Structure 1
């Protein structure tokens, strides 16, 4: 199974990718945000949303660095893998909405 640091780096990438796709999709009015918390941030300022997503990705990269030699439970790894699966699905949905709307 993959190391926790690798999983966190993948999670960071998907978070940032989702942030950019969501940013451009909302900016060009191609998608909507269904996460109520992120929708509130977007309504406050779309750039704040992107800053928040970028900050979370940086945090995950730093966390991956500090946890690179740490053994974590299988449960924690499975939670991160589940998060990666959800991010993959969300990213595909966002990209498909944008492509279909062109």
Structure 2
């Protein structure tokens, strides 16, 4: 579970960075209703809530309090899979933006 939680925390931080950049430059839309609401309330609130999830996972790893039920293992693997799909989509829009539209300087 330690490596699964570390992987999930890292994927969450990468997603946070890419999503924030995409939202800031109006390149993407947030599809998660809760995160969309938080971003429209305050980008700082969006960052704080999203980052707190990674911090929570890292604290669990550091304190060695890692529950390892079958349900939690399954949910963690599902979450990692979803993040990998989302990051693949991020890669597609980054590639499209940078190489097909000419990037930020063409706007």
With structure 2 as the length reference, what TM-score do the two structures score?
0.82
Unaligned runs of 5+ in 1: none
Higher relative contact order at CA 8 Å, sep ≥6: structure 1 or structure 2?
Answer: 1
Could you say what the CA RMSD is over the residues aligned between the two structures, in angstroms? Answer: 1.6
Q: Deviations over 1:15-63 (max 9, x none)?
A: 1110000000111111110000000001011222112111111111001
Matches within 5 A, 1:1-102: 4-67=1-64, 72-102=68-98
Contact kept, 8 Å, 1:5 with 1:65, in 2: the verdict is no
| Larger Rg over CA atoms | 2
**Alignment length (residue pairs):** 98
1:66 to partner: Cα distance: 2.7
Unaligned runs of 5+ in 2: 99-107
